[in-house]
Structure 1
Amino acid sequence: MALFPTSALRPGVRKREVFGWAMYDFANSGYTTVVITAVFAAYFVGGIAKGAPWATFAWTAALSTSYAIVMFTMPAIGAWADLRAAKKRVLVMTTTGCVLATAALALTPGFAGGAMGVALAMALVIVSNAFYSYGESLTGAFLPELATAEGMGKVSGWGWAFGYVGGMLALGLCLAYVLWSQARGLPAAHFVPVTMLITAAIYGVAACATFALLPERAVPQASRSQDSAWTQLRTTFRQARAYRDFMWLLVCTVCYQGGVAVAITLAAIYAEQVIGFVASETMVLIFVLNVAAALGAFAFGYVQDRIGHKVSLTVTLLAWIAVCVIAAWVTTKGGFWWAAAIAGLAMGSSQSAGRAMTGYLAPPQQLAEFFGLWTFATRLASIIGPLSFGAITWATGGNQRIAILSTAVLFIGGLLLLLPIDMQRGRKAALHTR
């Protein structure tokens, strides 16, 4: 079986273009793996904020602020990119912003323990995560230009699988340096800055493959006007209401991606504070989770084109519910490893299926704009999920087990909201000229 079978690609699309597109997922995954999940999240709470009672809330607040910024600006940025056929140009700018802000996180340990250190770290996380989110949305908008409707699941799966490989590379290099440093008695304030520089370097270098190989296939749309961010957001939502299956998908995405966001942003904190992992064990755990996620994304990319995107997403949401139940009840590290393995498989497949469904149901002439709405939905979910987890933890006197069990409600809600979606009806509506 060829890695990139031409039957999955649109006429005229070369395999090198798909490879270049997939390499962006490879490039940016190290950011979420190292900064948001495995390394900087735990260091912010325990190192920069010195384990203060408000530390976890400050971390989720910084992420929520970045997501709110993206929610209200990405549709307008997407519309601007569609109007001028400038997705690639904007992608270069947002990538540069994220790489520079990630590298700047290396400065934060020098201010640890003080208000300035917390403020600086939060500001850089807000900036870097916002730029990361812009890039994620823009690269997703290239998908329907590359893949046929029947092959969108495969191509999306390739991207996510490449992404998890990139995340494993970044985390693996960082883990090797952390273990080397710890063996010599060096503190986190020494090795965390180096992991930020490693992550930024991999992001910047790997993204160059995307910029070199992925062309901008869209053409400028001189007949469309450009409005302000708020006006464009309202306009895009108003237009999207005509595509009811796409709108159901957005609501479904808000629900289940809220649960996924909990896994991404709080996995390391939960593993260390509830299960008893140490930092190096947590990094190994996240590394293996990425292996499972890569396998899940790649395998389900093929499966979902056979059984359907909707059925595939249903299966993965059921798996996520199982993860929440297992994580809430296990008390040993071995038991938590089972939850992490299932989470990895579910994460890769659910992310791939969600992006493929978005590309399948979005109007071809407004891809970046409608992927901007998808980004709006995923970032709203990234606010709701982690903040709900934090609120439940606080309300229950620090009981994170109840909070993780409650996260299953988000996946159950996603399942229920998935039911009304008719993929064939939605595809016909997307292809209909309005």
Structure 2
Amino acid sequence: MNTRRNVFLWVLYDFANSIISIVFFLYFSQWLVIEQGIPDIWYNLAFPIAAVLLLLTVPTTGVLLDKYWRRIAGLRYTTIGTAVLYGFCSYLAAHGQTIEALVVFTIGLYFYLLSFTFYTPLLNDIASPEKRGRVSGYGIAANYLGQIAGLLIALPFATGSLNLFSGSQRAETLLPAVMVFFLLALPMLILFKEPPAQKIEFSYKTEVRRSLRETKTLFTIPGVFAFLTAYFFFNDAILTASNNFAIFLEQVWKISDTTKTYLMLGILATSALGGLVSGQIADRVGHKRTLIYILSGWLIILPLIAWITDFKLFVVAAIIMGLWFGSNWTVSRSVMSYLCPRDKHNLTFAYFGLVERVSAFVGPIVWGLVLSNAISLGPSRYRLAATVLTVFVFFGLLAMRKVPKDDIPRPQHILA
């Protein structure tokens, strides 16, 4: 399994899925809320609904994968489901079918999120423990490069230079992104080699009970629960900052959308570099130690970004911040990889992915409460909200104290 071809295919898939992600989150949201007049809450409800569906299915799916199924098979089904549903959503959007498009988008989002529970554990098959940080870095770098590519692919459709349905320009961007995503994902689905798993008949109810039992056993392994707790806190802060960055730019700096685009492209470029470099650093100095350095950096970066008053200095700081975005997810992935036992990779990463999605619930609520209760501060309340997010990072650092170092032997098998 540790072949250059498999590594390339794994990285290419990361590149592909980031294209569809950036285009839908940027243009579908604007088409739905701004052009079609759908309330923001309707669009935002798609994410907790998809997260609840994920919560109901991920633990059992992880157990079934560890025992009976092949990971690549699950990735094939969820990728095809994502492409079909997002493609149908694109068609509905281009023809002005608002409610139908939102419903299909929500289901497609669930398939998109579920695909990561099959994709991420494959890291353990394609890379030896001492190289997982580096390979994870390749994936993160490809993800950010894919986002850049997605923005560039969508641009001529967003400006009206190209069109497929003679519909809304924002809606026109969607289907091309889906097509490119699926074409680039196909090599992974067809060519990736994984040893066949033994097929055994099973009862769904039995597997649900077993998944609960194995989950309880999994959380007794030193470091697993502590790291998931840490990840919940610091990832919540980073996702909230990322999701609200464009609004922050508008409210605090009053810059044009063109300037925002160029700035975000610069951040994506340094994020790709951060993902690449941090993985190699983690392989050399230790994954836990590297992640602690990264989180400590966030305690400085967030307040700095929040309170800078000179725009040129802000741009420099924001570009540097991109290094931390990329390195954060690279090293988090590799830390989770070394903590989990070999025969529980899928179950462990299922919860890792689940925590990542669930963590997006709390941060936005806190962000909104700060803004709602500090109206008298004007635009400065956005600076305050960004600063408050450092509290989440601090709690994450505290939880990381319970995570074992890389050089402590880890169990390769556990008994349920």
Using the size of structure 2 for normalisation, the TM-score is: 0.88
Paired residue for 1:39? 27
The partner residue of 1:141 within 121, 124, 128 is 121
**Match of 1:414?**
396
The alpha carbon displacement at 1:147 in A equals 1.2
**Contact preservation (8 Å) 2:223, 2:339:** yes
* Structure 2 residue identity aligned to 1:61: L
Residue segments in structure 1 that go unaligned for 5+ positions in a row: 1-11
User: 1:82 touches 1:220 (CA, 8 Å); kept in 2?
Assistant: no
Q: Is the 8 A contact 1:105 1:124 kept in 2?
A: yes
- The one-letter amino acid paired with 1:388 is V
Deviation at 1:75, TM superposition (A): 1.7
Equivalent-residue separation in structure 2 for 1:370 and 1:323 (angstroms): 30
Instruction: Give SS of 2:223's match.
Output: helix
* C-alpha contact 1:245 1:361 (8 A) present in aligned 2: yes
1:343 aligns with 2:332: no
Are 1:171 and 2:151 counterparts? yes
Q: For residue 283 of structure 1, report the CA deviation from its aligned partner.
A: 2.9
The superposition leaves residues 156-209 of structure 1 with CA deviations (integer Å, 9 ceiling, x where unpaired) of 111111222222111122234434659x9xxx9722112211221121111112
Taking a change above 3 Å as real, the CA distance of residues 264 and 234 of structure 1, as seen in their structure-2 partners, is: farther
Q: Work out which of the residue numbers 250, 258, 271 in structure 2 matches 1:293.
A: 271
Query: Which sections of structure 2, spanning at least 5 residues, go unmatched?
Result: none
| 1:304 match | 282
User: Percent same amino acid at aligned positions?
Assistant: 23
Alignment-derived partner of residue 61 in structure 1: 45
Q: Note if contact 1:309-1:356 (Cα within 8 Å) is conserved in structure 2.
A: yes
State the alpha-carbon separation in 1 of the partners of residues 161 and 32 from structure 2: 19
The amino acid across from 1:77 in the alignment is T
- The structure-2 alpha-carbon separation of the partners of 1:330 and 1:120, relative to structure 1 and needing over 3 Å to count, comes to farther
Partners of 2:167 and 2:373 in 1: CA distance:
32
**1:394–1:61 distance in 2 versus 1, CA, 3 Å:** farther
For residue 70 of structure 1, the aligned residue among 54, 63, 82 is: 54
| Residue 205 of structure 1 pairs with residue 193 of structure 2 | no
Number of equivalenced pairs? 409
Aligned partner of 2:78 among 89, 94, 118:
94
1:98-137 map, 5 Å: 98-106=82-90, 107-108=92-93, 111=96, 117=98, 119-120=99-100, 122-137=102-117
Deviations 1:368-402 (A, max 9, x none): 11111111211111222223323333343484332
Distance apart, 1:243 and its partner CA: 0.8
Indicate how the Cα distance of structure 1 residues 20 and 323 shifts in structure 2: closer, same or farther if over 3 A, else same: same
Partner Cα distance (2:367, 2:210) in 1: 32
Give the distance between the partners of 2:89 and 2:314, measured in 1 at CA.
30
Q: Distance in 1 between matches of 2:352 and 2:173?
A: 30
Report the residue type matching 1:416 in the other structure.
Answer: L
Tell me whether 264-273 or 351-360 shows the greater mean CA deviation.
264-273
CA RMSD of aligned residues (A): 2.9
Cα offset for 1:44?
4.0
